[in-house]
Chain A
Amino acid sequence: NAGVTQTPKFQVLKTGQSMTLQCAQDMNHEYMSWYRQDPGMGLRLIHYSVGAGITDQGEVPNGYNVSRSTTEDFPLRLLSAAPSQTSVYFCASSYNPANEKLFFGSGTQLSVL
C-alpha cells in the first residue's frame, strides 16, 4: 500500500519558471490538501479539495493553482515561481474532511533561485 506519493522529492527552479508538484493517493480518500512548511512557521494550508471537481483556498493560496480531476490525484501548480516559494511542500489526504487521521506524503523540497 503506497499511501500518499509525492514527486519530485527535490526541485530547483529559477524565478519565473513554472512547474507542477505531483500528489497521488491510493486509499480512495475524498479529502486532499497541500501544505507548505517553513522554518519557524509550521505547516500552512495552501489549497484543499473535498472531492473530485471541488477545490478551495487555504491560508496561503497566492501563487498556486490546484485541480482535482480524479479522486487519486491532486497536483499543485506554481505558475511563476518566486524565491518566497522556497519551502518544503507536503500533500496530505484523509478519508473525508471530518476524518481525524491525515496521511502525509514525504514532501517535495523546492528551491527557487
Chain B
Amino acid sequence: TQLLEQSPQFLSIQEGENLTVYCNSSSVFSSLQWYRQEPGEGPVLLVTVVTGGEVKKLKRLTFQFGDARKDSSLHITAAQPGDTGLYLCAGRLHSGAGSYQLTFGKGTKLSVIP
C-alpha cells in the first residue's frame, strides 16, 4: 500500500494553462515536501510545509498543506515549458519509529507544451 498517493500520474497541458496536482494519505505527517526532478538529475527540494492549513508561494507555484496534515496540493499558474518535470511529494510521519524518514509518492509527470 502506497502511503502517499499522487494524482494525476501524468499531465500534459498547453503553455499558459493552470494546473493542480495532489498528494493524499490516510496518515498524519509532521511535514510534507515537494520536489521537482528533471531527466537525468536528482530531485530538488521546492518547499516544505509543516503547519496544517499552511500556504506557501514560490513565484507561480502555490503549495498548500491540508488542515489535518494528511494531504497537500501544488498549484501552478500560467504554466511554462520550464515547469516540465516530475513532481514528487514526500512526507515525514507524525509519530512512530523511523519518523524522520521521508516517504515519497510515485510522482506526477508534467509536460508543458509550448
* Interfacial residues, chain A to chain B (CB-CB below 8 A): 4, 35, 40-45, 48, 58, 90, 92, 97-98, 100-102, 104-107
* B98 CB, min distance to chain A CBs, angstroms: 9
Known contacts A90-B42, A107-B40, A107-B42: does B88 contact A102 (CB below 8 Å)?
no
Contact across chains for B106 and A40 when beta carbons are under 8 A apart:
yes
* B: interface residue count bin: 20 to 34
Residues of B within 8 A of A100 (CB): 31, 33, 45, 48, 50
Contact across chains for A104 and B42 when beta carbons are under 8 A apart:
yes
Cα-based distance from A97 to B92 in the complex (angstroms): 11
* A44 CB, min distance to chain B CBs, angstroms: 8
A-B contact pairs, 5 of them (CB 8 A): A42-B2, A42-B107, A43-B43, A48-B101, A106-B41
Residues of A within 8 A of B102 (CB): 45, 102
Cα-based distance from A66 to B106 in the complex (angstroms): 25
Cα-based distance from A101 to B45 in the complex (angstroms): 7
Q: Contacting B104 at CB < 8 Å: which of A43, A97, A98?
A: A43
Contact across chains for B42 and A42 when beta carbons are under 8 A apart:
no
Residues of B within 8 A of A102 (CB): 33, 45, 102
| Sample of 16 more A-B contacts, CB < 8 Å, known A40-B106, A100-B33 | A4-B42, A42-B2, A43-B43, A44-B104, A45-B102, A58-B101, A92-B42, A97-B100, A100-B45, A100-B48, A101-B45, A102-B33, A104-B42, A104-B43, A106-B42, A107-B42
